[in-house]
Amino acid sequence: MKVAMIAPIAWRTPPRHYGPWEQVTSLLTEGLVKEGLDVTLFATADSITSAKLVSVVPTGYEEDKEADPKVLEYLHISNVFERADEFDIIHNQFDFMPLCYSKLIKTPMVTTIHGFSSEKILPIYKKYNKHVSYVSISNSDRHPDLDYISTIYHGIDINNFPFNPDPKDYLLFFGRMHPDKGAHDAIKIAKFFKMRLFLAGPIQDEIYFKEKVKPYLSEDIKYLGSVGPEKRGEMLSNAICLLHPIYFNEPFGLSVIESLACGTPVLAYNRGSMREIVDESVGILVNSFEEAVEKFGLIYNIKRSDCRKYVEKRFTSQRMVSEYIEVYKRILNSN
Amino acid sequence: MKVAMIAPIAWRTPPRHYGPWEQVTSLLTEGLVKEGLDVTLFATADSITSAKLVSVVPTGYEEDKEADPKVLEYLHISNVFERADEFDIIHNQFDFMPLCYSKLIKTPMVTTIHGFSSEKILPIYKKYNKHVSYVSISNSDRHPDLDYISTIYHGIDINNFPFNPDPKDYLLFFGRMHPDKGAHDAIKIAKFFKMRLFLAGPIQDEIYFKEKVKPYLSEDIKYLGSVGPEKRGEMLSNAICLLHPIYFNEPFGLSVIESLACGTPVLAYNRGSMREIVDESVGILVNSFEEAVEKFGLIYNIKRSDCRKYVEKRFTSQRMVSEYIEVYKRILNSN
């Protein structure tokens, strides 16, 4: 089966630091190649893959401030569709834009919807609802007006996340510095218990970081910047608990799974996909800061080995890869 | 001949006030219909045309601050190309984006390049250089790396611009409030001669307007805001002279032609297309403020009737329409 994989081009595939869409695209691509599929990855030229790499864009537009994202986006996407006939299926990981080319080619297309940046992009998903197969990344992220061929939860390469039964003494926050991700609540929780906290992730909202995070940094509450893949496992595996006090309906939540893989349980605000990806054997779901401090102690009842097993069973990239292959087959059979 | 005309969707076609690309698109579309061509205008739903209007976008994204320009752009353009088979030729007036769909359809395409917003968009024009026919709007706006099928100067509907042999006592500046357009030099010139000056045009650069224009407004130097088509003729025809002290290589300069049609000569800085569209019988080209005040008096030697005749001969929409029909025929014959 010949697959064209359209990566986003905000970052390299896989990303150097942040870049969850590119991360998942990379894991899936490498997994498909391992399963023997003939995959062509359309991504930035500095991407690293065992698939055939096709690039018309040197590097991610988020990594090159001179780049014109709109120009790169158009060059990247048109290049895929101009070669559509070479493939049995096109898998789009790059949001709504590629949908708009899909009726001009014969190759069937599947799109992983990594989340809706706003309601304003819905008209495009609705327009191509019957024409392109949509995969949701959690049931909670499904939009009632759209049809989906499947929900496929992200998987991770569990080898990158070492299990550690014996953590150090800190709490960990892992996510963008943005009100949605709730770093400010993580700080409140750590302060309440007078515990150490590390915060890791890129600064997406400068004002938020300046007003809600920076003033509270101290000897015990440290911001580490964006942490690349090589340090991620170490950071996560040494934490007592991952704090995930989100203020938005998170479509999936990769860092939660990565944390659990290391044996580190999760305290999360119960929004978006959290109830689907965290059960009571591996984490605590709460609805507020007050409930978080009330229930925090339950974290110590969770067995770290259960967290690891939970991910091994449900959230490996192998599982994700097989589910996508299944979807490709269903699409090709129905065509 | 069945023509699909892709209008920009920043503004309505024709625009209510500002919107030169939409203005030209409208004039050409109406002219083609008069010549008996079967034209479908893809534009905002509030557009006004004698062609068939096809719209998937209610109103221009510059006129609706809630709109997502990217989403509207993708819906608008994909809709044209999904219907490409219905047309003999597609005429794109909407910048580089539609080029990226052009290899996925069979219908030939011509693109009027209304100017290069930056060098960064060139890779896309280069990519489709052999595949799409480009029309330049002046020779000076041609890029050396691109091939062009023709230069077609814009035309205007001369009936909208009444000739006035006997103007009032003011100078006129007509253009966006932006450093490129040089309103600040128009003010300097008017002040030097202690003459009245009206400034008309939308505020594109707020800081520029606040710092370089607003402080100099007075009883004699008045900013009128954006002036719609119904008042444009009156404003232009009553002026002694149009001041056009541009600081960029203007690709064309519609207001210059509109002014001349009213009999109003032009004092322009000699950049971009100016030497092509203004000759010494209708205007003065200078290279600086100093030269402008030195040569300003020559304006009074220009016969206003010569300005009118000049436009009647070279810059009517009828001339523009015939030249585009000629280009369409050349493209269809070579296909």
Q: What is the pLDDT of residues B212-226, one digit of tens each?
A: 999 999 999 999 999
Check whether residue A133 and residue A43 sit in a common domain: yes
Chain B residue with CA closest to A122: the answer is B71
Instruction: Tell which of B74, B85, B99, B102 to mutate to test the A interface (max A CBs under 10 Å).
Output: B74
Using the Cα atoms of residue A34, residue A56, residue B8 and residue B70 in order, give the sign of their dihedral: positive
| Total number of domains in chain B | 2
Q: Are A200 and A226 in contact (CB under 8 A)?
A: yes
Which residue from B74, B103, B120 is facing A124, i.e. has the nearest CB? Answer: B74
> Does A165 lie in the same domain as A146?
no
For chain B, say whether A236 makes contact (Cβ under 8 Å): no
Which string of DSSP letters, residue by residue, matches B70-125? HHHHHHHHHHHHHTGGG-SEEEE-STTGGGGGGGGSSS-EEEEE---S-GGGHHHH
Q: For residue B335, what pLDDT is reported? A: 79
Contact B248, B225 (CB under 8 A): no
Is there a single domain that holds both residue B97 and residue B173? Answer: no
Range of the domain at B220: 159-314
The average pLDDT across B141-158 equals 97
Residues A26 and A167 in one domain: no
- Separation of first and last alpha carbons in chain B: 14
Q: Given an 8 Å threshold on Cβ–Cβ distance, is A104 in contact with B104? A: yes
* B104:A82 CB<8 A: yes
CB-based contact, A105 to chain B, within 8 Å: yes
Mutant choice from A78, A119, A130 vs B, greatest count of B C-beta within 10 A: A78
Outline where chain A has alpha helix (H). Answer: 20-34, 69-82, 122-127, 183-192, 206-208, 229-237, 254-261, 274-277, 289-295, 304-314, 317-334
> Tell me, what's the ipTM?
0.91
Pick B74's closest partner by Cβ from A67, A78, A97.
Answer: A97
Would an 8 Å CB–CB cutoff place B97 in contact with chain A? Answer: yes
Please give the Cα distance from B205 to A245 (Å, whole number).
41
Other beta carbons within 10 angstroms of residue A329's beta carbon come to 12
Name every chain A residue with its beta carbon within 8 A of the beta carbon of B101.
78, 101, 104
Q: Are residues B112 and B166 in the same domain?
A: no
Mean pLDDT across the stretch A275-293? 97
The answer to whether B86 and B80 have CB atoms below 8 angstroms apart is no
Same domain, yes or no, for A129 and A228?
A: no
pLDDT in tens, A151-207: 999 999 999 999 999 999 999 999 999 999 999 999 999 999 999 999 999 999 999
A110 and A186 both lie in a single domain: no
Are A167 and A53 found together in one domain? no
Residues of chain A contacting residue B6, judged by C-beta atoms under 8 Å apart: none
Question: What sign results for the dihedral spanned by CA atoms A115, A121, A124, A127?
Answer: positive
One domain, residues B174 and B139 = no
Domain containing residue B11: CATH number: 3.40.50.2000
Containing H/E element for B310? Answer: helix B304-314
The whole-angstrom separation of Cα B151 and Cα B330 is 14
Mean pLDDT of B259-281: 97
pLDDT of residue B228: 82
Mean pLDDT (chain A) is 97
Looking at residue B310, its amino acid is Y
The answer to whether residues B7 and B131 belong to one domain is yes
Q: Show residues of chain A in contact with B92, CB under 8 Å.
A: none
CA dist A290 → A184, A206, A294 (Å): 14, 27, 6
Q: Based on the domain organization, do A300 and A323 belong to the same domain? A: no
Q: Is the pLDDT of residue B18 over 90?
A: no
Q: Are residues A127 and A193 in the same domain?
A: no
pLDDT of A228 above 90: no
Contact A135, A114 (CB under 8 A): no
Chain B residues within an 8 Å CB radius of A76: none
Percent of chain B with pLDDT over 70: 100
Q: How far apart are CA A142 and CA A154, in angstroms?
A: 15
